[in-house]
Structure 1
Amino acid sequence: MRKQSKRSTGKVLIILLLTVLFISACNSSNNGSNTSSGGKEGKIFTSKDGQVQLTLDEVWVEDPALNEQAILAVSERKNEKYAIVNSLLKSNMADGATLDDFKAIFMNNIDLSITNAEESNNKTINVDSTEAQLFEITGEAQKVKVHYLVALLEKGGSFYQIITWSTQSKFEANKEELLQAIESFKVLKETPTTPASTSTSPPESTDPNNKDDQNTEVTTMTSDDKKAEITIPASMSYELELSPDADIQASRMQQEEYMMVLREGKDTFADNFTLTDYSTAVTDSMSQALLNATLTEPKEIEVNGQPAVQFELSGEIDKIKISYLITLVETDGNFTQLLFWTLQNRMDEKRDMFINAASTFKEVQ
């Protein structure tokens, strides 16, 4: 029987997920800027890309510190009222993905930020002339009891997520205003429904002012046992656990960049187990976890003088289209997986960065 490698797919994370430190907002001062327009009808907040807007009371302000991934974030911190908007292109999901699929991804990842999470009060409402799913979530974030009112909808070529919340003790007093915030949501620039396969241009950054992709600064991360290291862009860091098996892991969720290093001792395999055998085991394991998996031809390379193979694996996990750059390295005592991944339609713009980072891996004596 062939030895299977560690499961390598990790957690699939996308910007719609509830993976931010929401409660960091609840007890801190407001550093947000106010670039909105006001009037008798309320204050209009528009996302930087001009895609969406919310209309709220005059006391609300823009608050980008709530969530770096959000396309719009606002708050009225004095009374514990918060709202963010996220969007996801349908082309980043499997063909035919529905709003129910979008919600399933959201709910499957709630545990990343919320403990003892409970969903309640599901209903359908009308938001921006579109049917939306409205529901509540209660739980604890950073040991603070929180209560969310969430709406999910689809319009044009995107799914949208409007998350509002307060502390549990103030939720009932704030609920009506949070619902009004959700009902004020409008899509100003509807994305086309053209499938990703017909598009030849890479997507824009989630933050049009983000310069990190041009930043050449790097950082070296080392395994806990100090026996392996890899140099990656300084914009990546340990944000959350992608896999309990990883020796090194990092991410930049705002730009959908993820990395893991997993080492496996050769002594766990048969004496005649080769790098080719290991590549087959990893490929088989990961392909089984993906739907519609496609694989590029493996290339034989060297990583810091050690034999290695490198290839790309693409497919779907939980209806999300992702691509991995996989580099498998053989050293005297280990087989090592260097895994970099992102959304499928972002791999072209990130491939060189991933390849360069993988080439820096080395074991330290």
Structure 2
Amino acid sequence: MAEQWSGQVGAGGQYFPGGMVGPPPKRPTGLWVGLSLLLVVLLGAVAWLVVATNGTPQRRSAPDDSLTKVVTASDGRSRMTVPEGWRELAAEYRDERAVLAQGQLFQERYVMVVPFDKADYTDFPDFEEATVSELAGGGVLKVDQGTPMRLGGRTAVRYEMSGSIDGVDALFWQTLVEGDGAYYQVIAWTLEDRRDAAGPALDEIVATFEEIGR
């Protein structure tokens, strides 16, 4: 990949990657949103789990996900239902354009919603093509053929992406949604070795996404 990421070393020697240098293009690309912000969040979260002395991840008992809460996006245009124990991702681990970003660090499960201005695209297929071509063209992630679906009563398509990023085997599901007021990327991600447990749980959370107004 041509782009390089800068970063900083935190207490204990953990590495926290920075974002791309310079402003994003007027028409945000799938690579910018689908890769750079996820790198920051995913690798930052992984760093939190590392014990500086031996690099062994700290583990806690599995939280109870039976209780849930509804989280409304900061722009008031969408919402999702997540486990009660999930928390909003810190500002340094999310893109400033994300209107909803929640996760559970010790389960390594995360979701994020990023809206896009419909005026920047001819139509939904144009938005989908732009996003997928950038992701596939980056050469970092393997992108599947996509699965058409309905999400929140809206036309949508889900793509699975996987790849090794700085030695971390990551797994992303990116669902593109055609809303009335915007196009959306609903992104869920975890570590590859958490696929079997995290995948179905994240599917249930993403399925609760709905657009609620402009």
TM-score, structure 2 normalization? 0.73
The answer to which structure, 1 or 2, has the higher relative contact order (CA under 8 A, 6+ apart) is 2
Secondary structure of 1:215's counterpart equals coil
Alpha-carbon distance change, 338 to 330 in structure 1, aligned in 2, over 3 angstroms: same
2:33 corresponds to which residue? 7
Give the root-mean-square deviation of aligned CA atoms. Answer: 2.4
Q: How many residues align?
A: 179
Alpha-carbon distance change, 348 to 221 in structure 1, aligned in 2, over 3 angstroms: same
2:177 corresponds to which residue? 329
Alpha-carbon distance change, 237 to 287 in structure 1, aligned in 2, over 3 angstroms: farther
CA distance in 1, matches of 2:86, 2:145: 28
Alpha-carbon distance change, 15 to 329 in structure 1, aligned in 2, over 3 angstroms: closer
Cα deviation, residue 15, structure 1? 5.4
TM-score, structure 1 normalization? 0.45
Cα deviation, residue 297, structure 1? 2.9
Higher helix share: 2
Rg comparison, structure with higher value: 1
Q: CA offsets, 1:114-145, max 9 Å, x none?
A: xxxxxxxxxxxxxxxxxxxxxxxxxxxxxxxx
Alpha-carbon distance change, 258 to 267 in structure 1, aligned in 2, over 3 angstroms: same
Uncovered stretches (5+) of structure 2, i.e. residues with no partner: 1-26
Alpha-carbon distance change, 265 to 15 in structure 1, aligned in 2, over 3 angstroms: closer
Q: Which residue, 267, 278, 292 being the options, matches 2:127? A: 278
One-letter amino acid of the structure 2 residue matched with residue 238 of structure 1: E
Cα deviation, residue 295, structure 1? 2.2
Cα deviation, residue 298, structure 1? 1.2
The 8 Å contact of residues 70 and 80 in structure 2, kept in 1 or not, is answered as: yes
Q: Residues 1-365 of structure 1 correspond to what in structure 2 (within 5 A)?
A: 4-5=29-30, 7-9=33-35, 10=37, 11=40, 12-13=42-43, 16-17=46-47, 19=48, 69=49, 86=51, 151=53, 160-161=54-55, 207=59, 210-212=61-63, 215-241=65-91, 242-270=94-122, 273-274=123-124, 276-289=125-138, 291=140, 293-365=141-213
One-letter amino acid of the structure 2 residue matched with residue 281 of structure 1: A
Identical-pair percentage: 21
Secondary structure of 2:128's counterpart equals helix
Alpha-carbon distance change, 289 to 235 in structure 1, aligned in 2, over 3 angstroms: farther
CA distance in 2, matches of 1:246, 1:15: 17
